[in-house]
Structures are given as C-alpha cells and as structure tokens.
Amino acid sequence: EPEVTQTPSHQVTQMGQEVILRCVPISNHLYFYWYRQILGQKVEFLVSFYNNEISEKSEIFDDQFSVERPDGSNFTLKIRSTKLEDSAMYFCASSFGGLNTFGSGTRLTVV
Amino acid sequence: SQQGEEDPQALSIQEGENATMNCSYKTSINNLQWYRQNSGRGLVHLILIRSNEREKHSGRLRVTLDTSKKSSSLLITASRAADTASYFCATDAPTSGTYKYIFGTGTRLKVLA
C-alpha cells in the first residue's frame, strides 16, 4: 500500500537554528499538507499546498514557516530561527482530493 | 467549542469492558475518520465513515455517525491493555476547498489489566 514517508523521525536542534523537515508524498497525490501536534495536544492544520502554491494556511503558519516542493517527489517544511515552542510532532499528509494519508511524523525538539 | 470536540477527555476501564468515545463537529463533512495514537508516536488510521453511512464495523471497532447531530462515536468492544492510547476523530472540511482535516481534542483511553 502506498505510504507517505517522513524523514528524519526525530530531530533535535538548537534554538535559533533553521530546520527542514522532509516528506515524500504518495506519487499520484495532488494535495500536500503539514500538521503539527504539540505534546499532549491535538493535531493542528498548518498549511496545504496545491499546484505548486499554498492553498490555505492557518494562523500558526507565520513568516518563520515556509513550504516547498523542490522536485517531483519531495515536500518540505522549513522553520527559520526555531523557538522552544516549535517543539512538536510534525505530520505530513497528502491526498488525491479527499482522504488524507498521513506520514509517521517527525518529532522536533528545540533545545 | 471548536470543530472536533471529543468526550470524555480521559477514560479508564478494566480489560474486557467496552469503551465508548464521542466526537462532535460543527460544519458539514464528507467523511470522518478515527485515529489511534500511542504516546509520542504516529497516527494509526482505524476506520473511515462517509457522510452517507450511519455505522461501520472493523473487528472490535464500531463507529456510528449521526450527521443530523453532527456527532460520531467509536466503540471498542472487549478492550485489551494494548488498546491503551489516545483516540482522535478527524473530519474533512469540504467548504475549505483544500481537503484539510480538522482533528478533535482526543480521548485518552487507559485499559487496566
């Protein structure tokens, strides 16, 4: 069964550093998403991406975040100048136009 | 309250008992899904129910959907210690045009052996 792959599974970074979280969506999917889950809280939508541009973003997705689909397979989330409160699980998802398929997540720890 | 509120927030039962979790949502949906998450781990997809369905079964899981009340329930029968996890509902948001999901606040289930 096709799956969404995320790397790395766990990343530790110093406060103020830039991080890039990587995702390989399912190959024939058209919509791509990033979600965030702070420990002990619910999963929150960050951003959706379609046709090589952001189609929707939440209030959380401020100027320190950016997304990119640099080639035909990868989808990345960049966090510039990380803060302690960016520590969370980040989930990538993709869909053909409906059901989201989620990756297993990247746990980001900012120290 | 927000789209995707679940109750109870926490549930503790004995092994062998049934566990029922509820989810309410606010806007119209095309589908609703239930996920399980072990502490600090990824989301495990359990079951999908579409807006034109009222009930679905998968093994020990039974999901109901009442679109008139904008609510869903997840029943786990004959619970096991391994069912200990957090359970989330997630609804799509067809009016958004982006097919994003909105997650509930989750129910933390603890099954005591």
Phi, psi at residue B82, to the nearest 5°?
A: -70, -15
* Residues 6+ positions from A59 with CB-CB distance below 8 Å: none
**Structure confidence at residue B2 (pLDDT):** 41
A40 and chain B: CB distance < 8 Å anywhere?
no
**Structure confidence at residue B74 (pLDDT):** 97
Q: How many CA atoms lie within 13 A of B10 on its CB side?
A: 4
Asked if A39 and B40 come within 8 Å (Cβ–Cβ), the reply is yes
Residue A14 has pLDDT above 80, yes or no: yes
**Structure confidence at residue B1 (pLDDT):** 34
For B38, the token pair is 């072990």
A87 and chain B: CB distance < 8 Å anywhere?
no
- Would you give per-residue pLDDT tens digits along chain B (113 residues)? 345 678 899 999 999 999 999 999 988 898 999 999 998 888 999 999 999 999 999 999 999 999 999 999 999 999 999 999 999 999 987 776 778 999 999 999 999 99
CA distance A74 to A14: 25
Asked if A56 and B106 come within 8 Å (Cβ–Cβ), the reply is no
**Structure confidence at residue B57 (pLDDT):** 96
Q: Which of B98, B102, B105, B107 to mutate to test the interface with A (most CBs of A within 10 A)?
A: B98
* Residues 6+ positions from A14 with CB-CB distance below 8 Å: A82, A110, A111
Which residue is associated with the tokens 């689909």? Answer: A69
Asked if A55 and B98 come within 8 Å (Cβ–Cβ), the reply is yes
Q: Select from B33, B100, B103 the Cβ nearest to the Cβ of A56.
A: B100
Burial class (CB in 10 A: 0-12, 13-18, 19+), B96: middle
CA distance A7 to A107: 10
Measured between beta carbons, the chain B residues lying within 8 angstroms of A35 are 101, 103
